Each structure stands twice: as C-alpha cells, then as structure tokens.
Amino acid sequence: MSLISEIKRRRTFGIISHPDAGKTTLTEKLLLFGGAIQEAGAVKSNKIKKGATSDFMEIERQRGISVATSVLAFEYQGIKINILDTPGHKDFAEDTFRTLTAVDSVIVVIDVAKGVEEQTVKLVEVCRMRKIPMIVFINKLDREGKDAFELLDEIEQKLNLTVTPMSFPIGMGYDFKGIYNIWEKNINLFSGDSRKNIEETINIEDLNSPDLNDLITKSAADTLREDVELVTEVYPKFNQEDYLNSNLQPVFFGSALNSFGVRELLDCFVEIAPTPRPKESDTRLVLPDENEFSGFVFKIHANMDPKHRDRLAFIKIVSGIFNRNTPYLHVRNNKKMKFSSPNAFFAEKKQIVDTSYPGDIVGLHDTGNFKIGDTLTQGELMQYRGIPSFSPEHFKYINNADPLKSKQLSKGISQLMDEGVAQLFILELNGRKVIGTVGALQFEVIQYRLEHEYGAKCVYENLNVHKACWVDVEKSDKNELAEFKRVKSRFLAKDKRNQLVFFADSSFTLQMTQSKYPKVILHYISEFE
Ligand code: G4P
C-alpha cells in the first residue's frame, strides 16, 4: 500500500475523562468491536486504586501495566486505530498532557450522573487550546443521571464547547429504552443484558411514524419527537470541517458497560475522525505525506526490569515511513542511530516491526539517549515543538543521604527527569537541586525508585515556591532584566534546557514582581515564541 493510503487509514486518538467515568470500560469495548480482544476484563485499569497497598506502591504496579496499555492498536473496517493511554489520576496530569501532543483527536467520556468533573475541565482545556478535534461520549445511561439537555448545557458552559448531539437517549436509568441515532436515523433498543452484546437496530426514517409508538410506547415516542425537534432547533448541524477545526463537538450517548451506543460511536469515529495531522517544528510545518521520515518522543518508560537498564522511548511518527535498521538523526545529539528491534503495539502485545507509518507509535529500546520531546529525522535539522513543561505544583530540595552513592544519585535523578517523572531545577545562587512535581505522590515515587533502581538514597527539604515562571530572556528589556536578576538572585534557577526560571513564593510576590518589572517577560510554560 502506498504511503498516502496508509496515512488515510490511520486514526490515532486518546480517551480522556475524570477517573471512574468509564474510560477503561469504553477502551475495552472498542477493542472488543475491533476483535482485538475476545472478552471483557482483558484491559487492566491503569488507575491508582486506593486501599490494599500504599499509593506509591500502587503507582509502581500501574507503571507495569501502563507499558502494556500505552498504545492499544487494532483494525476496524480496514482502519488502523491507535488508542493512546492517558492516566486519569491528577498527579499524572503532565503525562497526559504530553500524550495529548501525540494524538490526532480525542474522545471525552462523561458520567451522566456526575456531569463535567474537575479533571475533564483541565484536559479539555488543553485540547481546546491545541485545537484537537473532540467527540463527547456520555456514559452510564443505564443509571439515573442528569437530564440530557441539562448535561449538554453543562458541557457547553463548563468546557466551553459547541456541541451537536449525534444521538439522543430515550429515557434513562430504570426507564432507559434505547437511543435514537440522529446521524444514522435509527433506533437501538436497550435490552439491559450486556452478555448479549447484540443491539437491535431499527431504521426510523420518519419519527412521526406510528410504528414508533408500538416500539417504545406512545408517551416515550412523543417525548423523543419533542426532544429531537428541540435538538434540531437549538444545536448546530454537524459539519465535519467545524469538528476537525475543533469548533464543534459531536456528542453520543450510551453505556460502555453494556456495550450500548459504542458501535455507533466507533462507526462515526472512523468516518469523521482526522487522519494523522501535520505538525509544527521549529523551522516549518511538516506534512504526514512527506517522503522523509520524522517523529518525536512523547513518552519514556524506564527500568521495567531492574536487571537490564533499558528504557522504551515511544515515538509518534509524523511523516514518511519508519524503517527498521535504518540510520536516523537524533537531532538534539546530532547523532545517527539505528534501531534493530522497534516495537509496535497490537492490543496488549508488543511485536517487532519493519515499517511503520504516520500516526503509528513505535517503541524504541534506548540506553539513555532520549529525552521527552526529542526529534528523529532522516537528516533534517529541525525540532518538533509542542511538548512544553508546565509549572510544577510542589517543590522540594533534594539532598544526598548517602555520600558514597553521589554518582548513582545524580545518574538516577537525571534519568528519572528524562522520563518526565518530575522537573529538576538548579538554583543559580548555590547550585542546589530542586525537584518540582505535579502531585505530592511523585516525591515518594522518586525516592523509592532512586533506592531500588539506582541504589541511591535521598532526603527532601521543604522549599516554599508557589509557581515556577520561565523568563523570556530574549524579549525582556535588558536593563530591567539585569536589575531583576540582581534583586531576585536567590529565587532564580535553570531548568533542564538551561532556561532561566523565576521561583515566586506566593501569588502576591508574583504580582508585585510583575508590576515592578513590567518589561521582564514571565511565562507559566517552558515553550514560548
Ligand atoms: P475509568 O477508567 O474512567 O476510571 O473508569 P472505568 O472504566 O474503570 O469505570 C469505572 C466504574 O464505572 C467501573 O465500576 C465500571 O464498571 C463502571 N461503568 C463503566 N461504564 C458503565 C456503564 O455504562 N454503566 C454503569 N452502570 N457502570 C459503568 P467499578 O465498580 O468501579 O469497577 P469494576 O469493579 O466494575 O471494574
């Protein structure tokens, strides 16, 4: 098959949701429809379960599972679908943000009873900013929940989206009768027996037909007629271009647990979802159908087996064809590298592949050369943009607790940072190391992994930082910057890319600093024009 036809048949996406909305269940059902797994329960949940073990041990368990679920690929109607896993736990938000740089679209899962929750708001905001096309799936219709119109309103208000329902529920919870598919003009009747997994699809060209009364009772049919009339009056009609530009979000209703409404979602998804999209680099926009291969690292998994210090770097292919045993340029190191055993991911299995295409993810074995955000090309000197660091929420000094193991500690810290577990800052004044994390749990993870994987011991010391701000040295006024650096020297540090960072100890300090030095430009993310 030609490069273009391979690109056309690929859909790479992520499912995002607040924990417990049903992401794992939906993923599993999509795999079942794709024939990639034979039974439910095969996809292990990557969520952090509270209870039996302490939280950070649970993270270790999850790390094992998440290699297997990082990419779940399957074929459906001749389309190659790659689902990228996104952790729902908020302490891993940065992992999810990074994965979102590698998806071409997303499905947002919302619990019909809980509505829009905190994590959903954050993740959807990132997708909106990046103009990622989104489809919304409202889940758990077999349970009592919010009124459909109320929920659509909530989605528009809280998530700042413009929705267009593609299906509409008939009843809900105890009275849930099924779903009218506006897109396909048919009705699926809900049997409530998930073992059957077979839906009865009845074509309804005309909602006013008396047959509908017999099918779902007259009162349910009347309500449906009114609801659908309101939908057509109130919501914009589906338009693929608006969806692809992230200006319109189609909404589906269903119950993942009962495999209900999932086929409709998948059928529509393969029809409308984008094929691999172009990506901006520091020099130009790169198109997927260019002949030369290029890709970037969005995730690294390290030390799954402590006996072998190997890591798996996950590359999203942006353009051209990736071939096994072919030298490619690692742009940051300006070094050619060959990969003899690149892995592709099929459902839960890894497999060595000879060729991969744009939209695909390959896992490359790595001995410590890669960092998140690195670019591989066929020789062109360019770096992909769009994997910025955000300001961490928690900061601590990290100190060596075993003087004989200082080398191991440095190596461990450096490798864990490459993996993106946390961010390391070096204070300008005294060279002390500061670790910044999104969640408090990561400090325990780092301590545990340093000890178990590197034989090093660390202790933390509190440091009061409210936000890390990246200083735009280029665009700031030179005189004002010099004064700012002199006065604030105790609060300045360098990040992993040697960029200057200002630590503000409170939002008040931040405000004061900004009003005192208005020509010193501060950013909350590490990547700016
Ligand atoms: P997550 O990955 O988004 O965190 O959610 P997950 O799929 O694990 O689902 C969270 C809980 O919601 C699970 O129940 C799951 O069975 C349930 N669930 C998912 N879809 C539906 C649905 O359509 N209807 C109903 N009624 N429940 C649904 P659990 O009891 O927490 O876990 P489990 O022990 O059943 O796995």
Residues in the chain: 529
Helix, strand or coil, per DSSP, at residue 55 = helix
User: What is the per-residue burial (b if ≥16 Cβ within 10 Å, else e) of 442-451?
Assistant: bbbbbbebbb
43 alpha carbon – ligand 1 mean position (Å): 13
The owner of tokens 């940051």 is: 332
Ligand 1 pocket: which of 15, 50, 257 to mutate (most atoms <8 Å of CB)? 257
| Ligand 1 centroid from CA 20, angstroms | 6
Task: For ligand 1, say whether the CB of 17 is within 6 Å of any of its atoms.
Answer: yes
Q: What are the φ and ψ backbone dihedral angles of 37, each rounded to 5 degrees? A: -130, 160
Question: Average model confidence (pLDDT) for the chain?
Answer: 88
**Shortest CA distance to 32 belongs to which of 23, 42, 22?**
42
Residue nearest to atom 15 of ligand 1 (CA): 22
Express each pLDDT in 188-244 by its tens digit: 888 756 545 455 678 887 888 888 888 888 989 999 999 999 999 999 999 999 999
Residue 476 CA to ligand 1 centre (angstroms): 50
Per-residue pLDDT at 251: 97
How many Å lie between the centroid of ligand 1 and the Cα of residue 23?
A: 8
Answer whether residue 520 shows pLDDT above 90. Answer: yes
Residue 23, ligand 1, Cβ within 6 A: yes
> pLDDT value at position 441?
81
For ligand 1, whether the C-beta of 19 sits within 6 Å is: yes
Nearest atom, ligand 1, residue 256 CA: 23
pLDDT score of 32 more than 80: yes
- CA–CA gap between residue 493 and residue 502 (Å, rounded): 6
**pLDDT, tens digit (0-9, with 9 covering 90-100), for 245-256:** 999 999 999 999
pTM for the complete prediction? 0.85
C-alpha pair distances (Å), 276 with each of 75, 208, 320, 321, 415: 16, 41, 11, 13, 31
Q: Is 259 in the pocket of ligand 1 (CB under 6 A)?
A: no
Q: 444-451: long-range contacts at Cβ-Cβ below 8 A with a sequence spacing of 24 or more?
A: 444/55, 444/56, 445/56, 445/59, 445/60, 445/421, 446/398, 446/413, 446/416, 446/421, 446/422, 448/56, 448/60, 449/303, 449/412, 449/416, 449/421, 450/409, 450/412, 450/413, 450/416
Query: 154: which 2 tokens?
Result: 């909530």
pLDDT at position 24, please? 87
Query: Domains in the chain, please, with CATH?
Result: 7-173+236-272 (3.40.50.300), 279-377 (2.40.30.10), 394-523 (3.30.70.3280)
Q: Which residue lies with its CA nearest to atom 29 of ligand 1?
A: 20
Segment 49-67, tens digit of pLDDT? 444 344 555 555 555 555 5
Q: Note the pLDDT tens digit of each residue in 71-107.
A: 888 899 999 999 998 876 677 777 788 889 999 999 9
136 CA to centre of own chain: 15
Of 247, 239, 256, nearest in space to 17 by CA: 256
The answer to whether the CB of 139 is under 6 A from ligand 1 is yes
Distance 24 CA to ligand 1 centre (A): 8
Q: What 3-state class would DSSP assign to 145? A: coil
Signed CA dihedral, 285, 289, 295, 301: sign only: positive
Find out whether the beta carbon of 86 lies less than 6 Å from any atom of ligand 1.
no
pLDDT number for residue 48: 44
pLDDT band at 40, cuts 50/70/90? low
* C-alpha distances in Å from residue 454, one per residue of 100, 190, 306, 405: 30, 54, 9, 9
Q: Give the distance (Å) from ligand 1 centre to CA of residue 111.
A: 10
To the nearest whole percent, how much of the chain has pLDDT over 90?
60
Query: pLDDT-derived band of residue 429, with 50, 70 and 90 as boundaries?
Result: very high
Least confident of 13-27, 58-72, 487-501: 58-72
pLDDT at position 357 = 97
- The rounded Å distance from CA 443 to ligand 1 centre is 29
Ligand 1 atom nearest the C-alpha of 254 is: 23
For residue 527, pLDDT over 90 is answered with no
What pLDDT shows up at residue 50?
A: 43
Residue entry with tokens 């960072």:
501
**Closest by Cα among 395, 385, 397 to 526:** 385
The mean per-residue pLDDT over the stretch 464-487 comes to 95
Residue 389 is predicted with a pLDDT of: 78
Distance CA 502, CA 485 (A): 9
Average pLDDT over residues 471-495: 95
Separate counts of helices (H) and strands (E) for the chain: 14, 31
Choose which residue among 15, 17, 18, 20 to substitute to test ligand 1 binding: the one with the highest number of ligand atoms within 8 A of its C-beta: 20
Instruction: Give the phi and the psi of residue 314 in degrees, each rounded to 5.
Output: -95, 120
SS3 per residue for 7-28: HHCEEEEEEEECCCCCHHHHHH
∠33-38-43 over CA atoms, to 5°? 85
Ligand 1 atom with least separation from CA of 255: 23
| Band of pLDDT at residue 151, cut at 50, 70 and 90 | very high
CA-proximal residue: ligand 1, atom 25 (nearest): 140
Mutate to test the pocket of ligand 1, among 15, 24, 25 (most ligand atoms within 8 A of CB): 25
Q: Whose CA is nearest to atom 24 of ligand 1?
A: 140
Q: Are 348 and 31 in contact (CB under 8 A)?
A: no
Does the C-beta of 25 come closer than 6 Å to ligand 1? yes
Q: Which residue is listed with tokens 């729902």?
A: 88
Res 195: pLDDT = 46
Q: Say how many Å lie between the CA of residue 102 and the centre of ligand 1.
A: 26
Report angle CA 109, 34, 351 to the nearest 5 degrees: 105
Point out the ligand 1 atom lying closest to the alpha carbon of residue 27: 7
The rounded Å distance from CA 115 to ligand 1 centre is: 15
pLDDT of residue 174: 83
Region 490-514 average pLDDT: 94
Report the 10 Å Cβ neighbour count for 281: 21
Buried b (16+ CB within 10 A) or exposed e, 236-268: eebeeebbbebebbbbbbbbbbbbbbbbbbbbb
- Separation between Cα atoms, residue 296 and residue 249, nearest integer Å: 28
Answer whether 47 contacts ligand 1 (Cβ < 6 A): yes
Q: Residue 55: which residues within 8 A CB-CB, separation 6 or more?
A: 48, 441, 444
Encode pLDDT of 269-317 as tens digits.
999 999 999 999 999 999 999 999 999 999 888 766 656 667 889 999 9
Share of the chain above pLDDT 70, in %: 88
Q: Read off the DSSP letter of residue 485.
A: H
**Alpha-carbon distances of 478 from 475, 482, 483, rounded to whole Å:** 9, 6, 9
**Whole-number pLDDT of residue 228:** 93
